[in-house]
Amino acid sequence: MAIEAKELSPQAVEMRGITKRFTQRRRWLIGGPRGKEKRALDGVSLQVESGRITGILGANGSGKSTLIRVLATLLTPDSGTASVFGYDVVSQPADVRRHINRVSVEASFFKEMSPWENMLYAARLYGSGGQGTRGRVEAMLERLGLPLDTLDKPMKQLSRGQQQKVAIARSFLTSPSLLLMDEPTTGLDPRSKREVQELVRSIRRDRAATVLLCTHDLQEAEVLCDRVVVIDQGCVLADGTPAQLIREHGIEHGTLEDAFMRLTGKRLEEDEEKDE
């Protein structure tokens, strides 16, 4: 299943002027209120190089998940173009899907089924699942520190941290060239969070995969990401290495959090001025 890196474009992700609006549906009755429009992405342009961990930082509702869903071919943008390893997400979704996998904040599992049954299903969808899959799954879960007796228990009996580890193991099983991680550590206890973060590091170290990590945990972004893109209200506010962002937008001896607060705070003031 794994696609050789040499076959792929060096640009893992390329987005140009992506806009996505959501309109609250109108009531059918005549005279009902007009649909309210929300701009989730507002002309986002972004390039992500292969083999790196890029963080997408933003507050809740900033457009992070919309961006991930566009790249995952689950959402069609209103305008602009987006491609993954040179394949267009709208016109070549099948090619895009062969190269990606996603770990989301919500555990996307059949909760009554066991980790093994969920992973076997995933393996089948991604072209494997025959002999040897059980061995691969066991080895993977062992590496992630999951006791093997959890393999056949229903997912619902596993802790959130364990479920998230299974989600990451499932994505490893399909050997994605681009891993889309949408707040993978949200809601985890400190120990599970640290373990998941270590896994993310190992993806780049061992697999040479590209990771797009959406988070609102600034500390996490600072320690994990090679590059950080800050978005707010669907717009890219800043783009650079954590050190660059701290230098350019933060305070002296400050953190990424300081830079983020200044960036998004400035934006808030600009919006207030516009409203006035």
Binding site for another protein (CB under 8 A): 20, 22, 66, 69, 72-76, 94, 97-98, 100, 102, 104, 106-113, 117, 120-130, 154
Instruction: Give me the sign of the Cα torsion angle 8, 13, 16, 21.
Output: positive
- The residue (of 95 and 258) whose beta carbon lies closer to another protein is 95
- The residue (of 145 and 187) whose beta carbon lies closer to another protein is 187
- The residue (of 117 and 239) whose beta carbon lies closer to another protein is 117
Phi/psi of residue 134, each to 5°?
-60, -45
Alpha carbon distance 121, 128 (integer Å): 9
- The residue (of 9 and 76) whose beta carbon lies closer to another protein is 76
Q: How far is the CB of 66 from another protein (least distance, A)?
A: 8
- Given a contact cutoff of 8 angstroms between Cβ atoms, the answer to whether 67 and 102 are in contact is no
Alpha carbon distance 48, 228 (integer Å): 10
Q: How far is the CB of 216 from another protein (least distance, A)?
A: 19
Q: What is the phi-psi region of residue 127: left when phi exceeds 0, alpha when psi lies from -120 to 50, beta otherwise? A: left
Give the 3-state secondary structure of residue 71: helix
How open is the CA angle 76-74-21, to the nearest 5 degrees? 40
- The residue (of 97 and 267) whose beta carbon lies closer to another protein is 97
Q: How far is the CB of 132 from another protein (least distance, A)?
A: 14
Q: How far is the CB of 62 from another protein (least distance, A)?
A: 16
Q: How far is the CB of 74 from another protein (least distance, A)?
A: 5
